[in-house]
Structure 1
Amino acid sequence: MEVLKDPRELEQSNRQIMIKNLNDVYSSVEKLIQRTYAQKEADLNFQFRNIRTNVSQLLADIKNKQLDSFSGKKGSLEELYRTEDNLLNESIQMKDTFSSLISSTESIDVFLLESLIENLKKAFNDRIIVDRDILKEFKLKQMESKSAERVMSDEKQRSVKEESQKITSTGKRQTGELSDSLNKSRLIMVPSMSSGTNPANDNEKNGNEDIETDVLSKLYNYMNILEHKYSSYQPEVSFNGEYIGKRKWKVNISDKLIFGNIMDTVLKPLLTFETYWHPFEDLRTIIQFVQREANAVPAGQYKSLCILNLGWNPDIKEWVQNYMHPRMTLYLCNLETNEILFNSNVKNADRLKVWHNLETYTALETDIESLIVNDEAFDASDVAEMTGLSTEGANKFLSKLLSENKIIDVGFGTARYKGMKK
């Protein structure tokens, strides 16, 4: 597994390496000045003296932690790692090139040497600033990495345990002591590795209930329908009303679980949808489990979680309809009736549930078709009221329709629209 490097430590380490490499370059230039002076190569000697001045200035700038001569720029953690690698490579190439000239008898390409200095300047100028956003992204990646390591460790331990149980069961079978209950097939549905907890690791009985064939058939059919929906569409309205129809939609599907991520950046999800089987019977157990799941959602992210069962006890049904968390919406689905229970007071919970139920997804454009075909002008507030989008989200969605020539702006500066006549 790739080891993440602390951006602050990486930047400081690379700075020291560059300073050392530039000191070596400076020493090489000094030797070349002495050699060209001894050989009376006046023009070349003059050019090397200019190069020495440039190297000296670059060295002083890099030593200055305030970076007065360089601007830097904002970027992602991935971009920071890439630009730092590029910076080191430029530094090493420059050092090796100048060093090789000391013993070389070939003609010297001064233009190439000056280009190396300029390339290093540019690479240093293109450094990504280590700001709060970078550090936040680094911490999130660390959490994901540790979570993945935990899951891999748990899987390994579970594999060893299962192998041990298999050996024990085999031994019992030989003595005729194997219980009939162990002949029944079992199915455990677990959440993805992105979750903060793993139901398969719970010691409670709830996650290991036997599933009969007819229930298994319903469960697989449910997952198959969700798979078709996730593969054919993507969410357009986020939990906060943001328009997310243009963001990347990553889906992971198996017979045991289904989850999809709307990505905020290349590395970080903004919104996660997760659905899996876990037949809780005890209220306290599900409360503790759900709270662990919710607390594991990082700041700036949101999870929409649906747990499947063949029915829910009355106290659990009452509890879920009042459940609230700032980073998670919870749904409980009854596979027998396909009923989904949730807290309807949570913003956009009613709209997000379509990614967990068997209903057909209706695109936003279809939702506002009545506005588009109507002769009357409409604006973002009309769209927001019909779709669950915020006003800002509605404006982004309308900008998309405008760019696709599906609506026209008739507001003359007041942002009002009509459908494009066909």
Structure 2
Amino acid sequence: MINKLRRGKSTLESMQAANNRKILINLGSAHTVIDRFIQKTGDPGDLIDLKKRLTILSSELFNKDRMQFNVKVVTMDDWNSAEKAVIDSSEKLAIELERQLTAGLDIAAIEGYTDAVSNAILNRLQVTPELNAHYGKILKNKKSELKVNDGVSLEFDNYLNSLLAKYANFNPGALHMGGNPDNVKWEYTSGSKSVTATMTLRGGTSLVFETRWEDETDLAGLVKKEIASVKKNEYKCLCLVNRSWDGGSRDFARRFEYPKMSLYLHDLKEGFYYNNSNASAVHYKSWFSTELKKKA
């Protein structure tokens, strides 16, 4: 698993996890543009190497051994500056690559921006107990609130980041109705409590993976609305996440059957509930796991 999910009350770690999500979006955007250049050029060797570097950088975001653990006292300003450096450098890389789509390919410039991201990750600062304690005192005065309470926020943020890392490196190689699509458009976005990935095939057919936090207790009513929103020529896989699901909701998910949608309930304590007798639901379930491994 990528960055094994765990419970915790470290608000700074929650912030770092949220920052990781922004960085992964930027690296994923850069990854997508490089893929486009690879398809256009006759000698993609350098581009393939850059693509591999971006994949490695995405993984290194979760490698605490890469971060600096300074003996000296680290201030909040130090920590914030180091976080900002990673976010800003990844954003500049993504913007530069988008610019090159129209201005023309410049390998040296891409390498320079990629080096900046690598250095920023290397110089990132770990969250120390002392820094956490200091920040905790600041929060007492500000009465800051987490979007999802009781330590679940960090676990959920890490889960979304794991999905983003997966979607940045892989897309579905085979569809539930058979066939291996080519010339597809693969995009993914992140909200405060959600991640959505969309694959658009020639002819307008699309496959949508949506993962989001859900507090709605009327699951049947919610799913009815989701079904009504599924577009023509679209297949949707919806994963609803909560710290736990009641027995009725679990049974509903296990029985759910619809030609254009699969439903997954992710229980942060127990795992997934879905209709494992439905071939389409089984086919796409791995795309909601945190394993950084290409599957169909």
TM-score using structure 2 length: 0.48
Work out which of the two has the higher radius of gyration on C-alpha atoms and give 1 or 2.
1
Query: Higher RCO, 1 or 2 (CA under 8 Å, sep at least 6)?
Result: 2
TM-score using structure 1 length: 0.34
